[in-house]
């Protein structure tokens, strides 16, 4: 706590210093906080400011923002170190942002205030892509595909139901005219879409810390990822109908537009991911790992901007580009690029996440034009719970029903009735999914795009509701895990397969090396020690290893099949869970037999030949 206090005192000092400066030299802070204040220097009235002075001011503003980031990260370290679960990193980020925002608001001069307002273009172009890309790249693909049906059900109809319910409630409330607000149904639906994007950051970092059952983790992760994409597409579809009278035909047009956008974006992402894999396969660029990693990073970003530029959804493209990159291109990369790309994605994503929450906090005080309507905020806050309820519970029932039908049919009545069949998504998982519906920065960024007379009222509402959900739901998640009796401390073998330099060899004794450092802080360092031991004398160890018979391990096909979470595996053994895995099964076979041979480099020892070497080892002899 001493450190926290120290950090806060410093933040105060910095900001006051800047604020005083700004107050004194009133004309000198054109737009100092963000890295890319740019081109319009020519027609900007303040462009005559000496760049050196200007640079100094932007330096201070950046200094403050970086300092806030460092504080947030340090607090995060402190919290995990002391195992404090009541307060979460994101909540602290918002809090720091709010404190500094308040100081900026109270201090004289409005330049900093103008400068730190949340800018949606900045958010969408700089902060969001790394998070989405990293999510796609880090996705546990086997778990994801195994739970595909549940995820898609929650994501697509779920978001739709949530947005519509929320839209209707808000429309009815505003139509009552109690607060002098009157918005069209399309606008209400826009707000609904905005507030249907659940946040993939906070809840998942808590889940990670507790090692929640991978199945639940995957469902909530997948849902919140696709959620974002879908509510963005929905919002944009709604905005296209802004101002025009609502018709039934628009509904179908909207749905058509939505599906088209989603599918095309998905295809762009897949296409570029595969393209990268093929480029890597057919060029020798892996000999120059520095260039290789730059190019992969750039192409991933290019996907995002290209898709956005084509009026498609960059977020969907990027997500699927990330997934494809990991699934195919990864195996064609040089070892160094594999490591670089992974670490860079993680680092950028982490910085972006923290930055976003700091910004959300700042925004509450520094956005001057916001109009706060307390009753509307309360109504909205309650109605997002209602909307979430309406989407999670009925859809869970539907999934469970379908699962039961399928299982019964597959067993052909060998047991009899369906009473003994456990639910695909038991009640406590449903409740947790409901609880995990906290809203994030995507909603706020979307809300910046709301048009019309009541723009700032709606924006303020969305902002406050988002912050409230993060604080309330985020702060109580750890408690809810206990209350709902959710299985924690699960060892997801696959989850750590990429940690510590991507050691992907199947571990016969999983608990030896790969625990998350949060629960077993020393094992992490031990594995470091091992890794660096192994690294230090590569020639020696390689020579030694080549004399050894590798330990008998399952072949990769079996290995990837064994990558199912423990829970699912138990179920499968008992009930022959055909429906929920059959879809992914045929794809896995097709993938192994057709796609991988086409996309992966045969010069890299292929996955199937050597069961014990599920690693991309470059074979120099085959290439020369």
Which residue lies nearer to its own copies by CB, 172 or 535? 535
Residue that the structure tokens 């400066």 belong to: 21
Decide if 286 contacts 337 (C-beta within 8 A): yes
**Residue 172 or 544 with smaller CB distance to its own copies:** 544
**Are the C-beta atoms of 170 and 192 separated by less than 8 Å?**
yes
Q: Which two tokens stand for residue 319?
A: 């997500």
Residue with Cβ nearer its own copies (437 or 506): 506
- Return the structure tokens found at 166: 């929320």
SS3 sequence of 179-226: CCCCCCHHHHHHHHHHCCCECCCHHHHHHHHHCCCHHHHHHHHHHHHH
Residue number with CB closer to its own copies (38 or 414): 38
CB of 491: closest distance to its own copies in angstroms? 16
Nearer to its own copies, 288 or 389 (CB): 288
Whichever of 574 and 622 has its CB closer to its own copies, that residue is: 622
Going through 436-487 in order, the beta strands assigned E by DSSP cover none
Q: Which is nearer to its own copies, 419 or 548 (CB)?
A: 548
412 φ, ψ (degrees, to nearest 5): 50, 45
- Please report how close the Cβ of residue 570 comes to its own copies at its closest, in angstroms: 27
Name the residue among 248, 194, 223, 257 with its Cα closest to residue 383: 194
Cα separation, 26 vs 487, in Å, equals 58
- Say if CB 194 and CB 443 are below 8 A apart: yes
Q: How far is the CB of 18 from its own copies (least distance, A)?
A: 8
Smallest gap, in angstroms, from Cβ of residue 213 to its own copies? 23
Nearest to residue 560, comparing CAs of 492, 494, 510?
Answer: 494
What DSSP string describes 291-312? HHHHHHHHHHHHHHHHHHHTTS
Angle at 236 between CA 234 and CA 239, to 5 degrees: 110
Closer Cβ to its own copies, 54 or 493, answer by number = 54
Around Cβ 508, how many Cβ atoms within 10 Å?
Answer: 10
Q: Judged by CB, which is closer to its own copies: 45, or 413?
A: 45
Contact present, 328 and 595 (Cβ < 8 Å): yes
Could you give the 3-state DSSP secondary structure of residue 414?
Answer: coil
Say how many CA atoms lie within 13 Å of 514 toward its Cβ.
22
Token code pair at residue 453: 């007379």
Token pair belonging to 575:
């009930």
Least Å distance, CB 75 to its own copies, is: 10
Question: Smallest distance, Å, CB 470 to its own copies?
Answer: 20
- Tokens of residue 567, six digits: 């829970």
Per the structure block, which two tokens stand in for 430? 């449903």
Nearer to its own copies, 229 or 571 (CB): 229
Minimum CB distance to its own copies, residue 322 (Å): 16
In the complex, minimum distance from the CB of residue 484 to its own copies, in angstroms, rounded to a whole number = 28
């Amino acid at each position: 706590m001493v450190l926290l206090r120290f950090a806060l005192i410093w933040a105060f000092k910095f900001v006051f210093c800047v604020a005083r400066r700004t107050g004194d030299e009133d004309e000198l802070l054109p737009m100092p906080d963000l890295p890319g204040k740019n081109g319009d220097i020519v027609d900007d009235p303040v462009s005559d400011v000496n760049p050196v002075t200007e640079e100094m001011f932007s330096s201070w503003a950046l200094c403050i923002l970086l300092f806030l980031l460092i504080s947030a990260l340090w607090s995060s370290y402190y919290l995990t170190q002391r195992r404090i679960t009541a307060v979460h990193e994101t909540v602290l980020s918002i809090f720091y942002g709010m404190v500094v925002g308040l100081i900026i608001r109270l201090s004289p001069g409005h330049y900093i205030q103008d400068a730190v307002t949340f800018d949606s273009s900045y958010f969408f172009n700089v902060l969001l892509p790394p998070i989405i890309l990293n999510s796609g790249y880090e996705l546990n693909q086997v778990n994801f595909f195994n739970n595909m049906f549940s995820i898609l059900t929650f994501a697509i109809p779920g978001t739709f139901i949530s947005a519509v319910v929320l839209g209707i409630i808000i429309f009815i409330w505003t139509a009552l005219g109690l607060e002098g607000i009157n918005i069209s149904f399309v606008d209400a639906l826009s707000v609904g879409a905005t507030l249907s994007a659940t946040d993939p950051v906070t809840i998942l970092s808590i889940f990670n810390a507790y090692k929640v059952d991978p199945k639940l983790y995957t469902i909530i992760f997948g849902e919140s990822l696709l959620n974002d994409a879908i509510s963005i597409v929905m919002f944009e579809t709604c905005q296209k109908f802004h101002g025009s009278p609502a018709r039934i035909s628009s509904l179908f047009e909207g749905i058509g537009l939505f599906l088209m956008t989603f599918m095309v974006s998905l295809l762009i992402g897949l296409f570029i991911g595969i393209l990268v894999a093929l480029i890597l396969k057919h060029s020798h660029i892996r000999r120059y790992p520095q260039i290789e990693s730059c190019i992969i990073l750039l192409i991933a970003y290019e996907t995002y901007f290209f898709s956005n530029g084509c009026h498609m959804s960059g977020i969907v493209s990027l997500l699927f580009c990330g997934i494809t990159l990991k699934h195919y291109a990864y195996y064609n990369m040089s070892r160094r690029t594999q490591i670089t790309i992974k670490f860079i994605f993680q680092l950028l994503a982490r910085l972006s996440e923290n930055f976003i929450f700091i910004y959300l906090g700042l925004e509450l005080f520094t956005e001057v034009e916001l109009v706060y309507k307390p009753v509307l905020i309360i109504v909205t806050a309650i109605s997002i719970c209602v909307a979430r309820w309406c989407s999670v519970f009925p859809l869970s029932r539907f999934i469970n029903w379908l699962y039961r039908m399928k299982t019964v049919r597959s067993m052909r009545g060998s047991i009899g009735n369906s009473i003994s069949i456990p639910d695909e998504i038991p009640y406590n998982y449903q409740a947790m999914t409901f609880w995990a519906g906290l809203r994030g920065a995507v909603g706020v960024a979307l809300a910046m795009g709301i048009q019309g007379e009541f723009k700032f009222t709606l924006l303020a509402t969305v902002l406050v509701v988002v912050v409230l959900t993060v604080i309330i739901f985020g702060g109580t998640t750890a408690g809810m895990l206990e209350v709902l009796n959710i299985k924690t401390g699960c060892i997801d073998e696959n989850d750590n397969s990429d940690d510590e330099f991507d050691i992907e060899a199947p571990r016969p004794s999983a608990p030896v090396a790969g625990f998350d450092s949060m629960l077993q802080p020393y094992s992490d360092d031990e594995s470091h020690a091992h890794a660096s031991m192994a690294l230090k004398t590569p020639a020696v160890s390689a020579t030694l290893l080549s004399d050894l018979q590798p330990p008998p391990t399952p072949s990769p096909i079996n290995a990837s099949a064994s990558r199912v979470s423990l829970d699912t595996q138990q179920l499968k053994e008992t009930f022959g869970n055909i429906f929920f895995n059959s879809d992914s099964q045929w794809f896995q076979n097709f993938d192994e037999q057709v796609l991988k041979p086409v996309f992966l480099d045969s010069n890299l020892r292929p996955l199937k030949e050597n069961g014990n070497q599920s690693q991309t080892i470059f074979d120099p002899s085959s290439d020369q």
